[in-house]
Each structure stands twice: as structure tokens, then as C-alpha cells.
Structure 1
């Protein structure tokens, strides 16, 4: 029974696959199984798989070889005739007359096929293919190129090495150039930081798990350095640190700064706002014994500073005191201002109840 489906299975194709399907399948499988992308214990199996992928593509991308393979299978293609020994004629095709001394197919070095395929893209493959050199393929010495005698019609008298590959369909020097693979995109992750951390700056070591093209996963430690004064929405990018796609390209991992809620402070741009309470009596009369009302504020870096209200004035609700240079650091290098301000909003706490004598006394005082 003739086995004429194996090459299709190697590339994951059906027998009605188009030329475009064949090219797409070869690009995907050859990148996945290239030995340089499968080091260590996986290399030997990858070499054998890579060899078969190249052989399958070489046959299925050429109408003449594909026609013979579809009729007589791999044995008929390589042994110069159908399984019953009928042979190919002088032209290299069944029924052309003559005995079995005509065509005999030998697979080309898979590295040559790979390099010719991607070089035909006109450089469109980018740096993704730069790691695959044109040098020898380990264990590839058994590959022989087409000799000068047989060959197929339209191949320019056979193929010495890869010299005749310009006539092969599927991108070997002719037809539409292959499009580069789509960009791998990015993975966006939040980076939640407290106001204290954003005030001082620092570094976080974050562990991520990424999915590889082979189907396995890998843990990676990323050191994320953040500068004093960074604001929410600031992005830190790590190229090629994320998941791999089917072409072996890795996504960019992007961390976006988020500000954690603070129990005492609120940030507005480069300023910091804090609310302090005073009683209605203090707002109207000042502190007991006279003078100015003074309260202590602990800053984001642990210092303690005093903030005072003007003496002798009535303080209305929402009154603000601005302390210059005690806000967040300014991250823009070109900025003249090095820090924002600390803004104290004074909250006047009214009494919940008053006794009748208190109300009467207030009416007399307030008229």
C-alpha cells in the first residue's frame, strides 16, 4: 500500500492544502523544531524532526515532486519508480517511456532549505532569524543535493547545492515574499506602590511565570527600579520577557505604576494634602492661653514638622496652610521645582449639642 500522506502529516496539512498553506506550515514548524532553538537533550530529536520538515516542504512545494509523491509515495519518489518497479521515463515522469534509469530524488540539506526560505523574504524576517547561520547542521552530512543529470523539468538542469532553488515555488526566489510574523504584543501588569515608596524610590524584585513555545513554563525574576516622584500611570517595560508565540517571539512585559491608598495623605500631582482637625472654640478663639495653634505632621520620610495657624485670626472651615517644598519629589529632570508642597486643610469640628445656657451665651456674644 502506497504511503503518500506522511509529508502532509509532518506539516500538519491535508492533501488539499494550497501553496500558501504549505509555506505557512513550513515556516511555523521549521522555527519550532530548529535545533538551535532546542538545545541540550532535545536537540537530537529536533534534528530528526527538522530534517523531515525540510524534506516534506521540498517535495510538497514543487508541483512535479508533489505529483509523483501523491501517486507513488515516498518510496516511489526516492527509488525512481512505483513500488512495482515500473520506473520513470527519461523525462522523470511516469509513462514517459524508457526504464528506471531516469529520475531519482535525494533530499536537500535542511539548513539550505531553511536559509533559502527566509532569505527569499527579502530581510522581512528581521532579527528573529539571525541566530540561524548558514553553517552545517549537526548530523546533516548524509544529505545530498540534486546531481547534474536527472532533475525535473523547469529546474534548470538539476540542482548543484542550492543553485537551482530560484525556480522552486513557495518563496524560493520567486512569487510573493513572505510576510514577517505579527508582533508578539505585550503583557500589562500593575505595580502597586505606597506613597512612601514613591517618595523615596527603590527597586522591587518580581517573579513572573511565562509560557514558552514548547508548551512548558518558566519562572523569571525581574528587577523593577522606580524613581522618586513617579506618578500613577508611569510604565516600565521589559522587552522579550513575556510569553512566547508560535514563532518563538516573546512578548514585552509592561508594569504600570499604581498608587496605594494612604491612611493620612492624598496626592494631587506633586503636592501632598493632609487634613487636621481643630475645635470650633480654637477656630474662633485660638488656643487656651493665647498665641497660635500649632500641630505636628509626620512626613512620608519620617520627619516631624510643625504647622501653625495665624495667631489672632478666626479660622473658617476649609482653611489651607501651604508648606513649600514638603511635597513629593519632582521626577522631571528639566523641572526647576524639585519638590511639591504640603497642603494642610483645617477641618473645624463643630459640637454636636449645646446646652440651653450655652446657646443663650452664644446669642449674647454673636448678637
Structure 2
């Protein structure tokens, strides 16, 4: 009796390649001797292996669809044959385990269904694979002090493996991730995109994590929510007073009078002119000005005398 491969795989003749793979996967797992208690499961696995091998091969399938099992196994009649592979006779190798292993991969056909040494139970239907998530993928996100002061939006293009329809093959596709930077973010802030890593048949995609790294700034250093500015002044200015102009990150120019005597540990604190607070951007840290006092390299005797008189 002629073999109906479509009936064996419980599909119709309009089935796609994906439908054929799904059908073989479901039935092969159902009737494999390691998971089935039904009598004759080995014979059924042989039938499934042969049917899948024929219908998953475009040339064999085309020959079978046009000439049936007789034409496939006996060769195409001379009046239709064109030589080569189209007219060659087909014979199944008779080893269903070989087909099973080639389909699922690996020497142990059931190894793919073991995760963390915990075997899965087979109930005649396609098993649910216990998946584990890949480790997070961490990348640095370099931001300027202006970005962290004002806030901004960064667009990052990533490339990752995405499983194709059917879940058996993958392709590389790109995706744009959008990061809304909030005013006041600090060095080390972590932005997590859940499960945006490479996709795989038996794993959960990794999270992609961006870690804020602050770029250096020509005028300011950041210390928590405060901004540190360093200015050079002369010894005369340190002793007699002066005023300084300090530009801000939001485009203003602060004129700050210094009426105290500036010594080595002196710091001028300007409240509310630092970085915005992440929890409440309407509040800000302080601006702290450090001074580097430049001493004269030489003094004449007259100048030394005048300084001595002035400091008495």
C-alpha cells in the first residue's frame, strides 16, 4: 500500500515548510520510545522520519507530489525524466534516530530538554522547555555634564539575533533603543532594557543594561550634586578682595564678590547653583569655588619692606 507522507505527519498538501517541521517535532516527541508507552512506537517513528525526510527536501517533495511514492522510490518514468537528481531513486536509510538527532541536534536527542540537570516530563505533546535567561549585556553610556544637567534623549542602534517564524532559524536585525536622560542622573546610573538581547530557541534573551559614564568638563567637576570650580588668583587679590565671573551650565554669568581673605583652605559656597537633584529637579546642589593662590616668584627689597610695613 502506497505511503501517504502527508497523512503520516497529519498535515494537508498545502502545508508550508514551517508546518512540516512543527508536525514532525510534535509527533516525533510523542512516539519516540523514550517518551511513549504505546506499542509500535518505533515503527511509527520510522514512518515519521521517512515522511519528514521526503517532505522537508524540496526535490524529493516535488517528485513525490507529482509521481507519488512509486515515482520517488522507483525513479521517474523515462518520458518525464531529465537525468540527474530528479530521476534518481530514493530509499530511506531506515534509522529514525539519525533523522531525530539531525532535527533536534546533538548526540543525545533529549539533551535539549534538560536544563540545570532537571529533566522535563513528556506527555505525548510537544514539551515545554524550561528556559534560562542569558547574563545581562552591559554597555557604557557616555554623557556630558550638560546632558546630565538639562536632560536629553539618546537614540542607540543595536543589532541582535531574532528568531524567524517557526522558531528554528534566526536572522540579524537592528533596533533603535531610546533613552530619556533625566536631569540629575549620576555616574553609575543603570538603564535596563528587558530581554532585548539575542533570541535563541531555548533561552530567554538577556537584558541590555546601559551604565552612565560622565565625560569630563572644562570648567566644572561634579561632586555628588555639587559643582566644583577652580580659579587662579594673585596674592594681592587673596589679601585685598576681588570679584569673579563664573559662567553657569544654563547660560548665565554669576558675578561673585569675595570680601574675605582667601587662604589655602578657603572655599566660597554659592547655594543652589549646582546640579539638579534627580528626585526633585527644581532643587539644586551648590557651586563650590576653590582658589589657587599664585605667589610672586621674586620680590625686590623695597617691595618686601612695603609688605612688612603693611602687615605690621
Q: TM-score, normalised by structure 1?
A: 0.53
CA distance in 2, matches of 1:76, 1:231: 59
Q: Deviations over 1:280-315 (max 9, x none)?
A: 1211233xxxxxx111011011111111211xx431
CA distance in 2, matches of 1:223, 1:353: 59
Residue 204 of structure 2 aligns to a residue whose secondary structure is: coil
Q: Return the match for 1:244 from 181, 192, 199.
A: 199
Structure-1 residue corresponding to 2:233: 278
Unaligned runs of 5+ in 2: 1-14, 52-119, 164-168
**Do the aligned partners of 1:318 and 1:347 also contact (CA within 8 Å) in 2?**
no
Matched pairs, number: 221
1:44 aligns with 2:16: yes
CA distance in 2, matches of 1:76, 1:240: 36
Q: Deviations over 1:8-59 (max 9, x none)?
A: xxxxxxxxxxxxxxxxxxxxxxxxxxxxxxxxxxx92222222222232222
Q: TM-score, normalised by structure 2?
A: 0.62
Cα RMSD of the aligned pairs, angstroms, is 3.1
Residue 262 of structure 1 aligns to a residue whose secondary structure is: coil
Q: Quick check: which one's strand share is greater?
A: 2
Shift of 1:320: 0.8
Counterpart mapping for 1:90-169 below 5 A: none
Unaligned runs of 5+ in 1: 1-42, 79-168, 287-292
Q: Return the match for 1:221 from 162, 170, 176.
A: 176
1:235 aligns with 2:208: no
1:211 aligns with 2:161: yes
Q: Return the match for 1:330 from 269, 273, 277.
A: 277
Structure-2 residue corresponding to 1:56: 28
Q: Return the match for 1:299 from 245, 248, 257.
A: 248
Shift of 1:186: 2.4
1:308 aligns with 2:270: no
CA distance in 2, matches of 1:179, 1:48: 20
Structure-1 residue corresponding to 2:10: none
CA distance in 1, matches of 2:302, 2:50: 115
CA distance in 2, matches of 1:246, 1:359: 84
Q: Deviations over 1:205-228 (max 9, x none)?
A: 111111224342111011110111
**Do the aligned partners of 1:212 and 1:243 also contact (CA within 8 Å) in 2?**
yes
1:349 aligns with 2:300: no
Counterpart mapping for 1:12-27 below 5 A: none
Shift of 1:258: 1.4
Structure-2 residue corresponding to 1:197: 147
